[in-house]
């Protein structure tokens, strides 16, 4: 257990720069600029490229407002995905990528990835069937006392993950900060999890960390958890929901398409998940808010 935590901490480091945040590590071989305040942008990108040189990473992926797009394109960044009205329900957001190694930007498994996307896009809300939980099943908010069981579920589902969710201490820390978790229990056993990584300052939330134990798949738990998270977070005032889903996963891409999410692009060879670096699809959905009109 101690070795696993140590390894996770070595390969996933987070840094705060003013109101901005960077995550980087050898596992995904990248620098991820998760938040970039305009006043911090010069320092943030300077640090990102320092890390690129010092650690030998092959990619920077940056989540930025529209006003920064043209400026970054002049510096050889390219837009890989787009979410309209991402910030405050008004300003568009872009995922901008920079490759220090051009091979990293070459899409692998294109046929499979295109097939998954095409099938998912055909699954509109009209094909949505509401999952019905059985008498022995329940969904509830996950608390700190659930963290050990949560870590066990994540370890069984994922061979690797870009953040240290195999560490119960890390999960508890995120609960204190900005992530809300819900789980499905079957006969008292935790069998599925999903979370919302919230950014209330910009009123958006990433629907993420979906995990269902192998023997319980096919029961619609992902959709059921997503519905609960959407309802809870809409009531809290969030305007934009989005996800970054494995591009080769039929289940997750179909689930988000059925739930009314729109495809926003793909992040090429972006995330170490399931044992290797994979391409990820971005999907988004907006909640109506009369107060911003």
| CATH of residue 92 | 3.40.630
**Predicted pLDDT at 232:** 97
Tokens of residue 109, six digits: 């498994």
Chain centroid, CA 46 distance in Å = 24
| CATH of residue 284 | 3.40.630.30
Note the pLDDT tens digit of each residue in 244-287: 999 999 999 999 999 999 999 999 999 999 889 999 999 999 99
Note the pLDDT tens digit of each residue in 2-41: 333 333 334 478 999 999 999 999 999 999 999 999 999 9
Does 66 have pLDDT greater than 50? yes
Note the pLDDT tens digit of each residue in 79-111: 999 999 999 999 999 999 999 999 999 999 999
Spatial distance between the Cα atoms of 293 and 291, rounded to a whole number of angstroms: 6
Do residue 223 and residue 96 come from a single domain?
A: no
Given 105, 139, 156, the domain boundary residue is 105
Place of tokens 């044992």: 275
Are 176 and 61 a contacting pair, CB within 8 Å?
no
Do residue 116 and residue 96 come from a single domain?
A: no
CB count within 10 Å of CB 41 equals 21
Tokens of residue 167, six digits: 């560490």
**Predicted pLDDT at 291:** 43
Instruction: Give the count of alpha carbons within 13 A of 249, CB side only.
Output: 20
Residues 238-269 as b or e (16 or more Cβ within 10 Å = b): bbbbbbbbbbbbebbbbbbbbbebebbbbbbb
Does 204 have pLDDT greater than 50? yes
pTM of the full predicted structure?
0.92
Quote the domain boundaries for residue 42: 2-105
- What is the chain's mean pLDDT, rounded? 92
**Predicted pLDDT at 199:** 96
List all residues 6 or more positions away from 66 whose beta carbon is below 8 Å from its beta carbon. 91, 92, 93, 94
**Predicted pLDDT at 2:** 34
Reported as a pLDDT band with limits 50, 70 and 90, residue 131 is confident
């Amino acid at each position: 257990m101690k070795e696993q935590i140590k390894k996770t901490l070595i390969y996933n480091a987070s840094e705060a720069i003013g109101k901005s945040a960077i995550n980087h590590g050898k596992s995904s071989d990248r620098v991820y600029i998760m938040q970039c305040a305009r006043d911090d942008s010069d320092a943030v990108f300077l640090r990102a490229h320092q890390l690129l040189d010092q650690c030998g990473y092959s990619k920077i992926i940056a989540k930025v407002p529209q006003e920064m797009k043209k400026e970054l394109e002049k510096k050889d960044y390219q837009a890989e995905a787009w979410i309209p009205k991402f910030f405050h329900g008004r300003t568009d957001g872009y995922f901008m990528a920079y490759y220090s190694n051009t091979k990293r930007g070459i899409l692998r498994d294109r046929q499979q990835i295109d097939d998954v996307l095409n099938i998912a896009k055909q699954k509109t809300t009209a094909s949505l069937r509401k999952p019905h939980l059985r008498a022995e099943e329940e969904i509830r908010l996950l608390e700190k006392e659930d963290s050990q069981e949560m870590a066990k579920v994540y370890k069984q589902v994922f061979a690797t993950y870009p953040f240290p969710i195999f560490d119960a201490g890390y999960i508890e820390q995120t609960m204190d900060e900005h992530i809300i978790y819900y789980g499905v229990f079957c006969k008292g056993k935790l069998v599925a999890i999903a979370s919302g990584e919230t950014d209330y300052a910009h009123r958006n939330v990433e629907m993420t960390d979906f995990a269902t134990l192998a023997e319980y798949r096919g029961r619609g738990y992902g959709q059921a958890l997503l519905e609960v998270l959407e309802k809870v977070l809409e009531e809290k005032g969030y305007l934009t929901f989005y996800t970054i889903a494995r591009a080769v996963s039929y289940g997750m891409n179909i689930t988000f398409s059925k739930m009314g999410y729109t495809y926003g692009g793909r992040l090429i060879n972006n995330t170490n998940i399931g044992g290797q670096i994979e391409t990820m699809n971005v999907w988004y959905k907006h909640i109506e808010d009369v107060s911003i009109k």
